[in-house]
Structure 1
Amino acid sequence: MAMARMDVTETFHHIKFCGHLHTQESLSFAQNFDFLGSDILIATYPKSGTTWMQQIVSLLLSNGNPQLVETIPNWARAPWLEQYYFKDLCRVLQSPRILSTHLPYEILAPALQGSRTKVINVIRNPKDAAVSYYFFHKMANFLPDYSTFDEFLNSFLDGTVHYGSWFDHVKGWAGNAKNLNIFYITYEELFQDLGGSLEKISHFLGCSLLPEELSSVQRNSTFGSMKDNSMVNYTLIPNNIMDHSKGQFMRQGKIGDWKHHFTSKQNTRFNDVFNVEMSDSKLDFVWE
């Protein structure tokens, strides 16, 4: 990966993206992408279980055989539509293609309109997502540096962080079920019942796996096994891009870690914004 454009920010549809991975051309390419009915699109807000779902879907499509997930990095197996290298990679992806995106629904809506692309939307409780995203900013040299968690939390709550507002993102994907062939799952559900979640996902994808194949999928998609797998833990990325001395990409993978980082004042402020933003939402969240 090039070192270029580490300090560049691209703005597209009023949302900020890191220039290291995105260009105006790559963002437009994603917006106008020609989806196929056989495609599987993993749609997530950052730090909400993207890597986990990439791993699960890769394993389900391989009938639990871990060879692929042990030899090909996740960004080559399930590349992000909006990143600059996608256009070249797209030419060599085999069907069914596993695609990933952090883009909000409204940017991809025209391209997805009328397609039977299978969308898997993973949603994580926003307090844990915010903490995880803050720690990611600390190690990712292509993201802005926030001096304190409080400063980051302000940007997270007002939607000015890179990739935009968590609230808009979640409401956009969750509010458009009728326009999409979509499956919703939460990070917390994956955490609390991985086996049951795998059965639901394989059913949605139309993969019928034998019990021993499913247990191989489960074994190879636990947090511990992914943390040790260089194809998903981002240790392949050089230190000048991701400073591994400042943290681990696979940090904890738990529910409720936010309680160790939020002050009661921050929690009250967060709840106030959450209650206003999500007042019409039917989504339920597990907080601890």
Structure 2
Amino acid sequence: MANHRKKFIDLLDKAMAVADMMDHEDLLFSYKGILYPTTVCSPETFKALESFEARREDVILAGYPKSGTNWVGQILTNLVTTAAENNEDETNNLNDEELEVPYFEVGDPEKYQRMEKLSSRRVIFTHLLPHNLPESIFKNKAKILVLVRNPKDVATSFYHFSNGISILSSYETWDEFFTAFMTGKMPWGSYFDNICEWSKHVDDENVMTITYEELKENTALGVKKIAEFFGLLLTEEQLQTVAERSSFQAMKANAQKTHGEVGNILFRKGDVNDWKNLFNENQNQEMDKTFEERLARTKLGAKIKYEVYCKT
């Protein structure tokens, strides 16, 4: 697994080096009305993605940026790797040529041809909206874990991330960022659109939803539910080991090794309710109003437990 991890780190390092030399206005491009980072995504890659052939055995994680996808992605990777080690046939297929960039939409257009050569189970992450994913995912009923996090903590984490990594546009003030977040002028689009669209798939047989908050509160139980959903057969001891190895604290301590220089930016705090350090009263009221209007009556909106995590 070390070789593909190195490729991922190299891609991030190269992207940041290129971004350092770019003008601010060139860091993002628009594709089908949504902004994406120029140094890691491209229109050519999105076009090539359309014809990607998903498999029923694929393990897919979907979530809006800064909802915890790197953390939960590591949980998924650890679960799949451990389950494969329990199966001699699958163990023989584990090699250093696995998916070098785990995000669907990140990388060169030829990556999907390389992915065809990979054995199952392929672990894939994405920040994309459902309608921007390959049709084969839903047609072939590949299993998808949809991860959601309360909007105030997502916004707070996204703000710090944007100002910490050169591939994204930075913001002079929190107020400037908040306006961009609330109007959906963000990389990968609107948080509210994302939750609204994925809410329509909550009852699909191949979809499971989990919140960042419930996983933080009881990681061991969450890990067990995820393993059961994907049909990954692990012992109770193995599940506990995965939960411990995948804790936010353990991943933060190992961030330099797993994600290179960007590791400390990706795994900053991982707290719940960090939003209280940034939101003012007017911003609280605006977010509360928008959530009530757009998400409160959706199934994912209810699952977020907004009254618990987003009220002062």
* Equivalent residue number for residue 60 of structure 1: 79
1:167: how far off? 0.7
- Give yes or no for contact 1:226–1:232 (8 Å, CA) kept in 2: no
| Amino acid in the other structure paired with 2:233 | S
* Equivalent residue number for residue 276 of structure 1: 293
**Deviates most, 151-160 or 278-287:** 278-287
Deviation per residue, 1:244-277 (Å, 9 max, x gap):
8xx7321111111101111111111111111111
- Give yes or no for contact 1:43–1:101 (8 Å, CA) kept in 2: yes
Q: Which of the residues 62, 65, 68 maps onto 1:49?
A: 68
Spell out the pairing of 1:102-141 with structure 2 (5 A cutoff): 102-108=127-133, 110-141=135-166
1:90: how far off? 2.2
Q: Determine if the alignment matches structure 1 residue 256 to structure 2 residue 279.
A: no
**Deviates most, 85-94 or 111-120:** 85-94
1:123: how far off? 0.3
1:130: how far off? 0.5
1:109: how far off? 6.0
Q: Determine if the alignment matches structure 1 residue 199 to structure 2 residue 216.
A: no
**C-alpha distance 210-231 of structure 1, shift in aligned 2 (>3 A):** farther
**Deviates most, 140-149 or 81-90:** 81-90
Give the whole-Å Cα distance in 2 for the aligned partners of 1:203 and 1:219. Answer: 18
**Deviates most, 26-35 or 97-106:** 26-35
**Deviates most, 156-165 or 247-256:** 247-256
- Give yes or no for contact 1:60–1:202 (8 Å, CA) kept in 2: yes
Q: Determine if the alignment matches structure 1 residue 98 to structure 2 residue 117.
A: no
Deviation per residue, 1:96-131 (Å, 9 max, x gap):
000111111111263323212010100000100000
Q: Determine if the alignment matches structure 1 residue 266 to structure 2 residue 289.
A: no
Give the whole-Å Cα distance in 2 for the aligned partners of 1:225 and 1:23. Answer: 33
- Give yes or no for contact 2:202–2:209 (8 Å, CA) kept in 1: no
| Amino acid in the other structure paired with 1:42 | L
Give the whole-Å Cα distance in 1 for the aligned partners of 2:204 and 2:70. Answer: 25
Q: Determine if the alignment matches structure 1 residue 183 to structure 2 residue 208.
A: yes
Spell out the pairing of 1:10-49 with structure 2 (5 A cutoff): 10-49=29-68
Spell out the pairing of 1:65-84 with structure 2 (5 A cutoff): 76=100, 79-84=102-107
Give the whole-Å Cα distance in 2 for the aligned partners of 1:228 and 1:117. Answer: 32
For the residue of structure 2 that corresponds to 1:36, the secondary structure is coil
RMSD over aligned Cα atoms: 2.6
**Alignment: residue pair count:** 275
Gaps of 5+ in 2: 1-10, 86-90
1:20: how far off? 0.4
Deviation per residue, 1:5-57 (Å, 9 max, x gap):
65342211200001100110111222332111111111010000101111111
For the residue of structure 2 that corresponds to 1:113, the secondary structure is helix
For the residue of structure 2 that corresponds to 1:212, the secondary structure is helix
- Give yes or no for contact 1:41–1:99 (8 Å, CA) kept in 2: yes
Give the whole-Å Cα distance in 2 for the aligned partners of 1:173 and 1:30. Answer: 19
1:4: how far off? 3.6
Gaps of 5+ in 1: none
The structure carrying a bigger helix percent of its residues is 2
- Give yes or no for contact 2:103–2:125 (8 Å, CA) kept in 1: yes
- Give yes or no for contact 2:55–2:137 (8 Å, CA) kept in 1: no
% identical equivalent positions = 29
| Amino acid in the other structure paired with 1:123 | V
Report the TM-score when normalising by structure 1. Answer: 0.87
